[in-house]
Amino acid sequence: MKRIVAILAALVLLCGCLPALAELNVTGSMELEYAKQFTVDYIEGGYALITNSDGARFLTIPEGAEIPADLDEDIVPLQLPLSNLLISSTPTVSLINAIGALDAVTMTTQEYSGWYIDEVKAAMDAGKLSYIGSYKEPDFEVLTANPPPFSVFSTMLDSVPDVAEKLKELGIPYLRDTSTYETHPLGRMEWVKLYGLLLGKEKEAQAHFESQKALVDGIGAESTGKTVAMFYITSKGDLYTRKAGDYMVKMLELAGGEYALPDLKPEESGTQKIEAEEFYAGAGDADYIVYIWSMGGKPETMDAFLERSEILKDFKAVKEGNVWFTTPDYFQVNDTLGSMILDFNKMLTNTDETVKEFTYLFQLQ
């Protein structure tokens, strides 16, 4: 922020104008340990300037305070407290729910049947939270009649630019939640601090983040020496594995595991389509398989799993009974990534099978 202020001061000298925020006193910045995709600068008077990695900026306006004069056109003022929100990103909803602020959300683009968060389903049952159509085709008549003062979409909004344009036309400000670009899994979860700021739950957000971080810190970074393959196979038979730079691979490493394909694009996140034979050559001897169930055809039994590809029966992990699936809610929640990492550690270290309860993994029998 100091650099921004310096640039603004230079502009004043050059053009004789008074840029927005030039007279406001920056008192500090939000402390972020892992998140790199947003920043928050605290400003005297209870204001806060949020800067997203995509360049979007938002200024929170304390209750009863005025919007600063001559505010830069690209800065969106958000009058607090916020309510009647549209939250399209399901992981964002999980973070908001974790800090006890779900009542501020009244609209979602996820159908009832697709939710795995009990509190969300209860809110929909009670008529407090409504489905307004998918993120690709939200009900703009509803949004026109009851425009939310703020909305959050995932980066999938980029695939439907007409929706983004319509939101602008209706005057509905939106934040692209870019947490999927975070390279560290705890960075994704640290976005809870941003939503805590927006919804008056900063203390709750900090406490929640610290509690999940403590689970990871309690594991320690020592390697178990166990290797893990992480993949899924589509209904068309295409095999996708996680790239070595993916956040799920980082979760595995924090849990003490080693990725079976460490040289597969270690600087990139996401998944990589790969031929089954090539995948087997690199991951066939992995000690464990973590199969991404929600994306991989959803097999319910070992026989159904083996039907996904003839080559699976030859995997070491299959022969030794170390095939694990992620639960259906795995990609819907960002608030419990620490618990997910702990589950990975339990999987890797539970050699005597004393641990029977897992939250985000289940062993295929």
DSSP notation for 145-167: HS--S-EEEEGGGGG-HHHHHHH
Reduced to 3 states (helix: H, G, I; strand: E, B; else coil), residue 279 is: helix
What is the structure's pLDDT at 165?
A: 98
* CA distance readout (Å), 285 to 89, 146, 228, 267: 37, 56, 9, 24
pLDDT at 282: 96
Q: Identify the CA nearest to 200 among candidates 119, 124, 118, 96.
A: 96
Residue 172 has pLDDT above 50, yes or no: yes
Task: Please compute the mean of the pLDDT values over residues 123-146 and round it to a whole number.
Answer: 98
pLDDT at 112: 98
With bands split at pLDDT 50, 70 and 90, how would you rate the model's confidence at 119? very high
- Tell me what the mean pLDDT of segment 112-119 comes to: 97
Share of the chain above pLDDT 70, in %: 94
- The answer to whether residue 226 scores a pLDDT higher than 90 is yes
Burial letters 188-198, b for 16+ CB under 10 A, else e = bbbbbbbbbbb
Go through the chain and tell me how many residues it has.
365
Q: Examine the pLDDT at 238 and tell me if it is beyond 80.
A: yes
pLDDT at 356: 74
Mean pLDDT of the chain: 92
Helix, strand, coil content of the chain in percent (nearest 5): 35, 20, 45
Find, among 163, 56, 146, 155, the residue nearest to 106 by Cα.
146
137 pLDDT tier (thresholds 50, 70, 90): very high
- The whole-number pLDDT of residue 22 equals 55
Mean pLDDT of 28-57: 98
Higher pLDDT, residue 354 or 285: 285
Phi and psi torsions of 112, nearest 5°: -55, -45
Q: Which of 10-14, 41-45, 193-197, 345-349 has the lowest mean pLDDT?
A: 10-14
Domain residue ranges of the chain, discontinuous segments joined by +? 2-79, 85-215, 220-363
3.40.50.1980, 3.40.50.720, 3.30.420.40, 3.40.50.2300: which CATH number matches 220-363? 3.40.50.1980
Per-residue pLDDT reduced to its tens digit, 266-312: 999 999 999 999 999 999 999 999 999 888 778 888 999 999 999 99
Same CATH topology for 85-215 and 220-363: the answer is yes
| DSSP at 222 | -
| For residues 342-347, average pLDDT | 96
* Tokens 């650099």 sit on residue: 3
Question: Cβ-count burial of 87 within 10 angstroms (0-12 exposed, 13-18 middle, 19+ buried)?
Answer: buried
- Please report which confidence band the pLDDT of residue 15 belongs to, taking 50, 70 and 90 as the band edges: very low
pLDDT of residue 3: 43
What is the rounded average pLDDT of the residues 136-142? 97
**Contact partners, residue 204, CB within 8 Å, separation at least 6:** 99, 100, 101, 196
> What pLDDT score does 235 carry?
86
Instruction: Give the pLDDT score at 23.
Output: 62
Q: Please report which helix (H) or strand (E) contains residue 318, including its range.
A: helix 316-319
Q: What is the pLDDT of residues 61-76, one digit of tens each?
A: 999 999 998 899 999 9
**Domain 85-215 indexed as CATH 2.50.20.10:** no
